[in-house]
């Protein structure tokens, strides 16, 4: 079989792993919507949080892949899972496909939070220094290296920030220093937890981008129809989409999309495919 051109004739339209992944994702979404009405927030339990957050648990590196933020998020991910995943599972088989899906999903999460850690750790270090010893020097160092950004709907933190500024003034002018240090410490501890709890990521997109890369590598000349109308070869579609994600990731858009997670899924997918190819080549050389 020439794997540059793919035709589904004789292949299962809905192979077992893809079918079960579709079922699990759909069930998890509607379960999340239902239990939300009873005050149970599955996103807090099963979405992936930054590892310094009190909400973080290691199992979230798996469970976050099966959670979706809204119906459109679910639909487009599941459509792509079927569109690209069915071809790949038919070609690889169920076991290899499932390993690839999970590895790229975990790799996407590691990449995303690796970037978050690189961006946040300097701020967290200044915060920790200020919490341990809230002096004029540590407060000024924090202020110089970090701009406080607070969710406008978080009334508790907004009110706390106003009290924080008043107490900073107290320290600067030498009045009520001990009391002010305690107030500053309390607020900064609260703000630190707010920072490390943001953002919570959900969705199968990391694995989907891994599958997209695999499809482009395995069937590079197969046609993908943009908007169901414009034909483009898979290899160019993958390269173009990857570049767009890189640009969005670097530019820091506030669209709520984890662009580096998408790139992480593609990166780990590439590394795994290259590893398998090298292993297969070594096997045949013997």
Give the pLDDT confidence of 259-274 residue by residue, as tens digits.
778 888 889 999 999 9
The reply to whether 4 falls in a domain is no
Same domain, 131 and 235: no
- Tell me what pLDDT residue 65 has: 95
Query: What are the pLDDT digits (tens) for 15-30?
Result: 999 999 999 999 999 9
The 10 Å CB-count burial string (b at 16+, else e) for 41-61 is ebbeebbbbbebbebbeeebb
Q: Give the structural domain span for 158.
A: 122-196
Q: Is residue 11 part of a domain?
A: no
Q: pLDDT tens digits, residue range 55-105?
A: 899 999 999 999 998 999 999 999 889 988 999 999 999 999 999 999 999
CATH classification of the domain holding 225: 1.20.1540.10
Q: Alpha helix (H) ranges present in the chain?
A: 16-36, 42-46, 60-63, 71-92, 94-132, 136-145, 155-172, 177-196, 205-218, 234-251, 259-285
pLDDT at 269 (0 to 100): 93
How many domains are there within the chain? 2
Distance of CA 108 to CAs 66, 111, 276, Å?
14, 5, 19
Same domain (yes/no): 53, 93: yes
In a domain, 210, yes or no: yes
Q: What does the pLDDT average to over 169-175?
A: 62
Which of 161, 179, 196 is a domain's end point? 196
- The residue from 150, 177, 196 where one domain ends is 196
73/147 same-domain check: no
Q: Is residue 8 in some structural domain?
A: no
- Give the best-scoring range by mean pLDDT among 11-15, 158-162, 227-231: 11-15
pLDDT value at 129 more than 70: yes
What mean pLDDT, rounded, does the chain reach?
Answer: 81
Identify the domain boundary among 177, 196, 215.
Answer: 196
In a domain, 263, yes or no: yes
Residues 101 and 126 in one domain: no
- Rounded to an integer, what distance in angstroms lies between the CA atom of residue 271 and that of residue 249? 21
Domain shared by 186 and 215, yes or no: no
> Do 172 and 75 belong to one domain?
no
pLDDT at 251 exceeding the cut of 70: no
pLDDT digits (tens, 9 = 90+) for 217-250: 888 777 776 666 777 777 777 777 677 767 766 6
In a shared domain, residues 59 and 101: yes
Co-location of 159 and 100 in the same domain: no
Q: What is the structure's pLDDT at 6?
A: 44
pLDDT tens figures, 271-285: 999 999 888 776 555
* Same structural domain, 178 and 210: no
- Look at residue 252 in the predicted model and tell me its pLDDT: 59
Q: Determine the Cα–Cα distance for residues 263 and 111; give it in Å rounded to an integer.
A: 8
Instruction: Say whether both 128 and 268 belong to one domain.
Output: no
140 & 248 share domain? no
Query: pLDDT: is 138 or 211 the higher one?
Result: 211
Residues 221 and 104 in one domain: yes
168 inside domain: yes
């Amino acid at each position: 079989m020439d794997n540059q051109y793919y035709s589904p004739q004789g292949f299962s339209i809905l192979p077992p792993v893809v079918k079960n992944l579709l079922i699990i994702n759909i069930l998890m979404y509607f379960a999340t919507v239902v239990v939300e009405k009873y005050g149970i927030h599955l996103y807090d339990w099963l979405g992936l949080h930054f590892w310094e957050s009190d909400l973080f648990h290691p199992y979230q590196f798996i469970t976050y892949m099966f959670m979706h933020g809204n119906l459109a998020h679910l639909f487009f991910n599941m459509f792509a899972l079927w569109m690209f995943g069915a071809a790949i599972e038919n070609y690889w088989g169920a076991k290899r496909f499932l390993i690839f899906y999970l590895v790229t999903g975990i790799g996407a999460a590691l990449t995303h939070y690796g970037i978050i850690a690189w961006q946040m750790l300097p701020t967290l270090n200044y915060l920790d220094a200020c919490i341990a010893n809230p002096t004029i020097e540590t407060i000024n160092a924090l202020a110089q290296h970090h701009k406080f950004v607070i969710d406008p709907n978080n009334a508790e933190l907004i009110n706390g920030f106003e009290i924080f500024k008043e107490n900073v003034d107290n320290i600067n002018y030498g009045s009520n220093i001990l009391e002010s240090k305690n107030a500053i410490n309390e607020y900064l501890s609260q703000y630190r937890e707010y920072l490390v709890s943001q953002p919570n990521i959900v969705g199968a997109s990391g694995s989907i981008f891994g599958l997209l890369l695999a499809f482009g590598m395995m069937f590079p000349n197969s046609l993908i129809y943009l908007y169901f109308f414009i034909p483009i070869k898979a290899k160019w579609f993958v390269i173009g989409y990857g570049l767009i994600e890189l640009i969005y990731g670097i530019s820091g858009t506030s669209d709520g999309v984890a662009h580096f997670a998408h790139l992480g899924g593609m990166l780990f997918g590439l590394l795994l495919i290259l590893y398998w190819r090298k292993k297969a080549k070594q096997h045949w050389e013997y």
